[in-house]
Amino acid sequence: MLQHVHSNYEIDLFKALIAAAQEISGCEDAGNKSLRVIADHVRACSFLVLDGVLPSNEGRGYVLRRIIRRAVRHLWKLGGLQADGSFWRMVEALVAQMGEAYPDLAKRQSFIEQVLRSEEAAFVQTLDAGMVHLNDFLAAASGELGGEALFQLHDTYGCPPDLIADILREKGAHLAEGAMAEYEQAMQAQRERARAASKFAGASGLPAELVARLKATAFCGYEGTEAEDCEVVALLRDGMPVESLAVGEQGVVMLDRTPFYAESGGQVGDAGRLCGHAGSDFEVLDTVKLSGVFHGHSGRLAAGVLRVGDRVRASVDAERRRGTVLNHSATHLLHAALRQVLGEHVQQKGSLVAPDRLRFDFSHFQAVSRSELATIEAMVNAEIRRNAEAEVHNMGMQEALDFGALALFGEKYGENVRVLRMGAFSTELCGGTHVSRTGDIGLFKIVSEGGVAAGVRRVEAVTGEGAMALVAENEGRLDEVASLVGGGRGEVAERIRQMLERNKRLERELESLRARAAAEATGDLAGSAVDVQGIKVVAARLEGADGKQLREAIDQLRSALGDAVIVLAGASNGKVALAAGVSGSAQQHVKAGEILGHVARGIGGKGGGRPDMAQGGGDDTPGLPAILEGLPRWVEAQLTGGDK
C-alpha cells in the first residue's frame, strides 16, 4: 500500500531481487513466476543459514534443503544453471538490499554463499538424472506417475513429491490414482528398516525395587584409578538382582562408590578388576550408567564367590584409562580448532573417546579440505606444545556460560556443571576424565575425515603412542613405495608423477587403436546391413566393446546408412552391453527403446532411452545370436503392423 502497488513482488525489495534473478538466469520475461520463487527463496534460505540451520535430511535442516532445491529447480527450468552454480549468486543482491538493516547478513555473506553453493552443486548432480528418469517413467506409463516411481525419484535422486508435482503440472501429466498412498507405504517401510538397523542392545535401566533403595553411585575416579573398601550394594545376573555370583558367571556389580568411569559423553567405560577381601576376583570388561545415576561394572567373576555386602578393592586398568584420557582432552582441542578454522557453525554431533582412538562428528556443509585438515592438526599440536594447565571448575550453569564454556546443543545439564578449561584455547562443559596439562597428550594425528550424514562430517584421530605408531607406519609405507618406484623418499612424488604421465600417454594410444579398430569394424558392419523395405538393419555382436564404443559405432553407422535400425551387443565376462539406434525415416515406424526392449527381454535384461538412441544390458546367453539374427524379421513386422 505504501508503495502503491498491487503485489508483494512489486515492492522495491522484491523488484531488485527479481532483477538479479533475471540477470543470473538469463530470463527475458520479467513477469516469469519462477523469478518470484527464486527471489523469495533466497531470503528464506539466507536467514535460515544465518540462524545456524544447515541443510540435512531431518528437521529444520530438511526444510532448508527443500527450499534450496525448489529454487534451484526453477533456475534449472529457466535454463539458468551455470557450471559452478547460480542460486548462491543471489546472496549478493540480498545483502545489497537488506545488509544495512541486518549487519550479520553482510558479515556472514561468504559463509551463506558457501552453504548454498555446496547444496546447489550436490542437487544439480542428481537433478538432471532425476528428470531423465521422470521422463522415462512418464513415457512408460502414458503420462501417469505411480507411487513406486515417485518413491524412487525421492529416495534416489532427492526430488520430493511437491517438486515432482510442480513438474507434472507443467508437463500436463498427473499422479496415478493411489500413487501417494503407495509412496507413503514405501516411505514407511524404509523408516522401519532404518529403525531396525539403528537398534542396539544394552541395559540402561534397573528394577524399580533397586532404584528405590539404592543411593546414586559416588564417583571418585577424578582423583585416581584405585579405591579401597568399596561395598557391593547390588549384583545383577541376566538383568535380575541376585545375592551372589559364582566363578565363571557373568554379571553386573554395583558399588557404593567407584573410581570406574561409566560410559558417558562419548567416553567409553573403564575396565579393570574388583578384588574382594575374601579372595574373589571380578574382571570388569565395561562400566555403564544404569538408570542415569548408578555405575554398573559389567564383566565375569574369575575367582571365588562375590556376595552383596562384600568389600572390594576397585582397580581401574590405568594404562587403558590413560589412553582414553589423552584422546578425550585432544577431542576438546580438536573441537576448538574446527570452530576456529571452519567457522562457529561447527557443533558437536557425536563422539567416541576410546583408549586407542578418538572419533568426532560435527556439523559442516562440505568436505574439509586437505589444507584445512593440516591447519587443524597443526593448531592442536601447537596447543599440546604450549602445555597449558587443564583447569577443572565446578559452578552453576549460568556462571559457566558467563565463564565462556561451550555447551552442546541438545544435551541436558544440571544446575551445577563441571567446566574444563585448557588455556585460552578451549573451555567446555564436560564430566569426563582429562590430562593435567595439554603437553601430556604428546602428539595428535588425524587419520581420516569423511561424511556420515547430510550436513555431518567425521574426523578420526589418534594421540600419544597411537600417533607415534601411525607416524612409524606411514614412514614404513613411504619407504616401501620408494623402493617400488626405484628412488629415495624425496623422489617418490616425482617418480609417481612420471609413471602417471606415462600411463596416460599409453591409455591415449590404446584408445586411438581401439577407435581405429572400431572404425574398421563399423565399415564391415555397414556392408553387412540387411535391407528391409528401404531401411538398413544391422544387428551384430562385438566382443569386448563397452557402452561408449557401441554408441560411437552406432553414430558412425547412422551417418553411413541414413535410414537405419542398428542394434549392437558388446560381450564381456558373461555380460552383454546393448545399444540401439534409429535414424532417418525408420523413426516414423520404430523407436530405439522398443527395439532394445525386444532384445533385452530375450536375454533377461533391461534398458531404455530416447526414441533415437537406447542402452541396456543383460546376460550373455546362448540365445543372443538367434535374437540378433531375427532382428530384420522383427523390424519388418513393425513396418507391416505385425506382432511385436
Query: Is residue 418 within 8 Å of residue 392, measured between CB atoms?
Result: yes
Looking only at the bridges linking them, the beta strands covering 416-422 and 426-429 are antiparallel
Percent of the chain with pLDDT over 70: 94
For residue 62, is it within any domain? yes
Confidence tier at 309 by pLDDT (50, 70, 90): very high
Supply the CATH number for residue 239's domain. Answer: 2.40.30.130
Q: Is residue 199 scored above 60 in pLDDT?
A: no
Range of the domain at 278: 208-316
Confidence check: pLDDT of 424 > 50: yes
C-alpha span between 515 and 518 (Å, rounded):
5
62-114 pLDDT, tens per residue?
A: 889 889 988 988 887 787 666 667 899 999 999 999 999 999 999 889 889 98
Q: Is pLDDT at 414 greater than 50 in this prediction?
A: yes
Does 394 lie in the same domain as 306? no
Nearest to 56 by CA among 47, 46, 66, 45: 66
Q: Which residue has the higher pLDDT, 352 or 410?
A: 352
Question: Does residue 194 sit within a domain?
Answer: no
Mark whether 290 and 360 lie in a shared domain.
no
Q: Considering its fold, how many domains does the chain have in total?
A: 4
Torsion of CA 306, 307, 309, 310, to 10 degrees: -20
Residue 10 to residues 6, 13, 43, 46, 151, Cα–Cα distance (Å):
7, 8, 16, 21, 38
Rounded average pLDDT over 567-571: 89
> Is the same domain home to 332 and 460?
yes
DSSP code of 317?
Answer: -
User: Higher pLDDT residue, 197 or 195?
Assistant: 195
One domain for residues 29 and 116? yes
Quick one: pLDDT at residue 197?
46
Residue 390 has pLDDT above 60, yes or no: yes
- Whether residue 65 contacts residue 159, with contact meaning beta carbons closer than 8 Å, is answered with no
- Boundary of a domain, candidates 88, 122, 140: 140
> Residues 362, 437: one domain?
yes
Tell whether 615 is covered by a domain.
Answer: yes
Rounded distance between C-alpha atoms, residue 324 and residue 77, angstroms: 54
Average pLDDT of 623-632? 91
pLDDT of residue 320: 95
Whether 266 and 331 have beta carbons less than 8 Å apart is answered as yes
47 is a domain residue: yes
Q: Which residue has the higher pLDDT, 158 or 622?
A: 622
Span 262-271, pLDDT tens digits: 998 889 999 9
Contact 87, 68 (CB under 8 A): yes
Do strands 218-219 and 174-175 pair parallel, antiparallel, or not at all (unpaired)? unpaired
Q: From 43, 78, 82, 80, select the one nearest 64 (Cα to Cα).
A: 43
pLDDT(628) > 60:
yes
Same structural domain, 420 and 453: yes
Q: For the ranges 61-65, 386-390, 404-408, which has the lowest average pLDDT?
A: 404-408
d(CA 448, CA 458): 8
Q: Does the pLDDT of residue 451 top 70, yes or no? A: yes
In a domain, 61, yes or no: yes
Report pTM: 0.63
Arithmetic mean of pLDDT, 528-555: 86
Residue 272 has pLDDT above 70, yes or no: yes
The answer on 463 and 335 residing in a single domain is yes
585 and 613 assigned to the same domain: yes
Please name which of 583, 604, 341, 357 lies closest in space to residue 465, comparing C-alpha atoms.
357
pLDDT at 202 over 50: no
The C-alpha cell of 610 is what?
Answer: 530416447
The verdict on 284 and 329 lying in the same domain is no
- Is the domain of 374 the same as that of 252? no
Q: Is residue 178 part of a domain?
A: no
pLDDT at 194: 60
In the predicted model, what is the mean pLDDT of residues 139-156? 79
Last residue within a domain, chosen from 281, 316, 351: 316
Mean model confidence pLDDT for the chain: 87
Beta strands in 416-489 (DSSP E): 416-422, 426-429, 444-453, 456-463
Judge if 367 and 385 occupy the same domain.
yes
Residues 580-591: pLDDT tens digits?
999 998 888 888
- DSSP-derived letter for residue 580 is E
Contact 274, 327 (CB under 8 A): no
619, pLDDT greater than 90: no
pLDDT value of position 128: 67
Question: What is the CATH number for 369?
Answer: 3.30.980.10
Evaluate whether residue 271 is within a structural domain. Answer: yes
Would the pLDDT of 558 be above 90?
Answer: no
**Is the same domain home to 25 and 40?**
yes
| Residue where a domain terminates, one of 290, 316, 342 | 316
> Can you give the pLDDT at residue 129?
72
Check: CB of residue 324 under 8 Å from CB of residue 268. yes
pLDDT at 355 over 70: yes
Q: How does pLDDT run across 205-214, given as a tens digit for each residue? A: 677 778 888 9
* Contact in structure between 362 and 345 (CB atoms under 8 Å): no
Supply the CATH number for residue 627's domain.
Answer: 3.10.310.40
| 348 within some domain | yes
Query: With bands split at pLDDT 50, 70 and 90, how would you rate the model's confidence at 200?
Result: very low
Q: pLDDT at residue 9 above 80?
A: no
Q: Render 384-414 in DSSP notation, one character per residue.
A: HHHT-BEEEEEEEHHHHHHTTPBPPTT----
Q: Which of 133-137, 245-249, 461-465 has the lowest mean pLDDT?
A: 133-137
Q: What contacts 518, CB < 8 A, 6 or more positions away?
A: 545, 549, 552, 553, 556
